Amino acid sequence: MNDIIDTVGITRNSLVFDGVSNLRVTGIYGWNRLNRGSSVLGDNHYHSANLFGLLSEADTAWNNTLALDFIYVADEHNENAWYMGAASTQRFDWLNSTFRILGKRSLGSVLK
């Protein structure tokens, strides 16, 4: 995202469970100048959109890191959408690898 938006977030770190040495969860909210598809800065001044997100990352006992992120963009012109991402990073002595998958689900009439 290359938008200049105002954002606030709250993070809870160092959650520990069986098989997870560290879990980090962040909730975010963003507003103001959230660009809805145009690269022109300030082009979206005629309406507003809000961003809500839940971001998570866990270090596991199997020497890898898992991440799962959900973002929801609520737009007053019915251009709402879900954005999702998942990742897994593995560490094998001298070799590391990362796999990622991303997705988007448009809910409004304009982005479909």
Residue 44 scores a pLDDT above 60: no
Q: What are the pLDDT digits (tens) for 51-79?
A: 999 999 999 988 899 999 999 998 877 77
pLDDT value, residue 110: 52
Nearest-angstrom CA–CA distance, 108 and 47: 15
- pTM of structure: 0.80
Beta bridge partners of 97: 90
pLDDT score of 111: 43
Lowest-pLDDT range, 61-65, 97-101, 106-110?
A: 106-110
Beta strand pairing call for 6-17 and 20-31: antiparallel
User: Does residue 12 have a pLDDT over 60?
Assistant: yes
Radius of gyration of the chain (CA): 17
Mean pLDDT of 9-20: 94
| Contact status, residue 74 vs residue 85, Cβ threshold 8 Å | no
* pLDDT value for 34: 80
Q: How far apart are CA 95 and CA 110, in angstroms?
A: 44
